[in-house]
Structure 1
Amino acid sequence: MSTRSFVRNFKMVTGTTPAQWILRQRLDRARVLLETTDVGMDTIAERCGFGSSVTMRQNFAATFATSPTSYRRQFRVTG
């Protein structure tokens, strides 16, 4: 299958491009780590496949309209 056909079929099935799908998976994993761990932003960025914590923060804020730190404060699961 050509790249173009793959992207077209992927989008038809998922409603998004492969790159957008991967970004969403990374951001969803980051949200889980922010909610359930105390590890730092650099570690979360690395575990989620971002090139840097800056890249993660920019994408997180653009998607969720809040910073990862603010998200953690609001949604951290305690005890």
Structure 2
Amino acid sequence: MNDYTKAIEINPDDVTAYNNRGLAYANMGEHEQAIKDYNVAIKRAPEKISAYINRGNAYYSRQSYRRPFPIIPGLLK
């Protein structure tokens, strides 16, 4: 966790660090914080599909079943 936070401090545009820190938060059951990190990753790199999937999984884990859709805008076009 600390390594991802340090990476973000060094390079706030490191989308992979946000996504991976989100995964770490999710693994600890801190889904709200995970979702915040996934949202940052998505905002900075909307093409990063893994962040959408991880965010959907976090919403599902906290039983927000309607929330993750659309997971990936334009996917069904």
**Bin for the TM-score computed over the shorter chain:** 0.3 to 0.5
Normalised to the residue count of structure 1, the TM-score between the two structures is 0.35
Normalised to the residue count of structure 2, the TM-score between the two structures is 0.35
Of structures 1 and 2, the larger Rg is shown by 1
